[in-house]
Structure 1
Amino acid sequence: MGDFKLKQRKINKSLVAREAREYVKSNPKLKGVMGLYREVFSVQRRFSQRIPDRLPHLTEAQALRLVEEGGTLIDAGKLDVDVALVGELMGQLAEVLVKKSESPVDSLHDFIANELDEEGLSELIGAFLERDDEEFLRRAEGYSQDPALLYMLLHMSLAPFFWKAAGAAVRKADLDQVPRGRCPVCGDLPIMGFLRSEDGLRVLECSLCGSRWGVPRIMCPFCMNVDQGKLKYIFAEGDEGRRAYLCEKCGRYIKVSSAPGEKDEEFVVPLEDLATAHLDLAAQEKGYERGCRTVFS
């Protein structure tokens, strides 16, 4: 498996639009959620152009040592974030959610415009970046919005900052074989995985920075369980190439699909995640929990 260099994702608006149309063509019921992701990504992409490019701050030797020692290439707690820009992006994304969502989120406009001030947003960002879930929940519960919705909105708004930082960092690192569940670039959890087309290597994609890394085929990315007796998988009849791998040890699951073609870098994993929601439902009906908390990356 070491003969192939791991390809990081290379996605843009036109690719996302094209792939979303293909998913809808094969399953018209996906039209709504694919349209939602297209608009979310379009807003994120537009705002990402206003974020300064991050120059690589690590040498290849330093990056290699960090990964080998279990560290991350980005220190999320020290990420340079423009709070005002995050607030503006949250407002734009809220408009998309209000327009596209079937859930009652109409109050998002008023919340961002009138309730969430810059100081409060800065505190939420700080808790998010430090991955202090208790502190985030404590502060989020002081607002009128559902903390889970607020977390998702902030996650989507911070993602472009991580994209920029990760883009510089991954060029310095070999992530082909990194036997761990958390992203070696930013430390977040994977949204799902796929099997590399050249050799079947299991590749995970980060739910936050979008970086990819190769892992062992037999391993739960959430608890590192490698006991085959406690790992199983499910799939829909006639679609064995898409599976949800269930871990009996920690009670979580991750979905893994076979990459559709030779250009793995153009495989839009967030779209595949949405297209395999039936596997989420099947796994959750069996009592398993999704590993990461968000569906957009």
Structure 2
Amino acid sequence: MNTIEKQQRLLAKTLKQLRKKDHIPKDLITLLGETATLQLDSAQNISIDLPDLTLSSLDKQKDDEKGILTPGTLPLDRDHIAAFFSHLIEKITKHATTDPQNRFPGPMVAAAKLIETAYNNKEIDLDRCIDECLQGSGPIMAHWAERTPKAPATLNFLVRAAIEPSLTAGVTALAEWLKKQQHPSNQEIRQTGTCPICGSLPHMLELREKEGFRFAFCSICQHDFRIRRLACPVCDNTDTDKLKFFTVPEEPGFRVETCDICKSYIKTIDFRAFDRESLPSLNDLESLALDFIAQDQGYSRATLSVWGM
């Protein structure tokens, strides 16, 4: 079984688990599931040119709080992103009429139709949208959030979804190059929560192996990297009296870690006691109930999900 087939199998299992959750809208699961399937199907059609890096240039850029690149300089296949963006919009806008029994979220369909018209009329600059998504925000995203108030994250979602296959391919290639070069950024336990590739904060954590090694998943490039076990990944607080976590019986395999210094929380996947593999982008949705509990206790999330929501 090749890598794509393994990912497809894992995606199918995760979607099956998601559909058991009564509090998660079925139309949202359908949307994210079909989007993730499109992303996997397109993964072999990506061409990535790595930036011109040398070990000496990386050492000059090295900073304990930053990555070797910035989000805006991550290697991407922009032609692939443009093609995927158009294909995804078309699929969403036509889905309501071709499959009325299993619709995508209605407000997102309506918003996607507006965005499709504007994009076809060259009113939306996709390259600028890509740059804004990688930076986390910008005037174009803000404009379309106001223009589509019933589904304000639609453009952000569409662009982030289109970027993901290219971003994953580029970051994977870059990480493999760093590993061959035996560069410290690919080997050390990260002393901060920021990504060693792009310097962004994580959107989710995972505990692995019997020792409970702690790994973070970058909210922008989705690179996974090992970090310290007893420290806040957002503010680097190491005062254990200010670091807490909680679980709920209804969400086995998940826990929420909180910090009373920065008042942030981050969810952690711990499937070590279960016969399950993690798929953080969808596990984030599966554990949505924990977000509500953490926010009710006065904590906030430092990043969006990888879906831009």
* TM-score for both structures, normalised by structure 1: 0.78
CA pair 133-192 structure 1, distance change in 2 beyond 3 A: same
Q: Alpha-carbon deviation of 1:271? A: 2.6
Q: C-alpha separation between the residues in 1 aligned to 2:115 and 2:78? A: 13
Higher relative contact order (CA 8 A, sep 6+): 1
Q: Alpha-carbon deviation of 1:163? A: 0.6
Q: C-alpha separation between the residues in 2 aligned to 1:57 and 1:41? A: 31
Equivalent positions of 1:19-168 (< 5 A) are 19-22=14-17, 24=19, 27=21, 32=26, 33-55=28-50, 57-58=52-53, 69-79=64-74, 81=76, 83=78, 85-94=80-89, 99=95, 100-116=103-119, 117=122, 120-129=125-134, 131=135, 133-137=137-141, 140=144, 144=148, 147-168=152-173
Q: Alpha-carbon deviation of 1:195? A: 0.6
Q: C-alpha separation between the residues in 1 aligned to 2:227 and 2:145? A: 37
146-155 or 206-215, larger mean C-alpha shift: 146-155
8 Å Cα contact 1:252-1:289 kept in structure 2:
yes
> Partner letter of residue 252 of structure 1?
S
Identify unmatched segments of 5+ residues in structure 1.
Answer: 1-8
8 Å Cα contact 2:219-2:303 kept in structure 1:
yes
CA pair 231-105 structure 1, distance change in 2 beyond 3 A: same
Secondary structure of the equivalent of 1:236? coil
Q: Alpha-carbon deviation of 1:42? A: 1.2
Q: C-alpha separation between the residues in 2 aligned to 1:141 and 1:275? A: 25
8 Å Cα contact 1:197-1:258 kept in structure 2:
no
Q: Alpha-carbon deviation of 1:261? A: 6.6
Identify unmatched segments of 5+ residues in structure 2.
Answer: 96-102, 180-185
* Percent identity for Structure 1 against Structure 2: 25
Q: Alpha-carbon deviation of 1:178? A: 0.7
> Partner letter of residue 37 of structure 2?
S
Q: C-alpha separation between the residues in 1 aligned to 2:16 and 2:59? A: 39
> Partner letter of residue 162 of structure 1?
L
8 Å Cα contact 1:203-1:212 kept in structure 2:
yes
Q: Alpha-carbon deviation of 1:153? A: 2.2
Query: 1:130-177, CA deviations, whole angstroms, 9 ceiling, x for partnerless residues?
Result: x16344555546855655332222222212221111111112242450
Query: 1:235-262, CA deviations, whole angstroms, 9 ceiling, x for partnerless residues?
Result: 1037674211122222221011213379
> Partner letter of residue 230 of structure 1?
K
* TM-score for both structures, normalised by structure 2: 0.76
Q: Considering only aligned residues, what root-mean-square deviation do their CA atoms show, in Å?
A: 3.5
